[in-house]
Amino acid sequence: MFSWMKKLHRTLVHSSSNQQSESDQDIPDKKGEPLSKDIKVNFEKMQDIFANSSDAVIRRFEVGSDVKIGAFIVYIDGLVDREIVQLSLMKPLMVDINPTTVGCKFN
């Protein structure tokens, strides 16, 4: 299930390093930094990266209805429809999936 996330991450890391513009000079150099196994650490990194962005939206939620696994989503307000994010991404993950592995929670 998460293999596509790893592929997406690799693709984004490689494509972003090839498309760095002058405006990116204000952003700390985070390319190639691996994701942590701890979702709280990853969430904090995203908050740091998008701290000065007024249009970046970072939302925490839990995947699954029985076993809860902590998750978050990052998107740019104005580039996506909030209702589609809620109904097509977050709701199915929160309600329709029942993971069998032990997850982590945000405290």
Query: By C-alpha distance, which of 5, 4, 13 is closest to 31?
Result: 13
Q: Residue 4: pLDDT above 70?
A: no
| Cα-based distances in Å from 51 to 28, 41, 43, 48 | 12, 15, 12, 5
How far from the centroid of its chain's Cα atoms is residue 73's Cα? 4
Does the pTM exceed 0.95? no
* Domain boundaries defined on the chain: 35-107
pLDDT tens, residue by residue, 40-94: 999 999 999 999 999 999 999 998 877 788 899 999 999 999 999 999 999 888 8
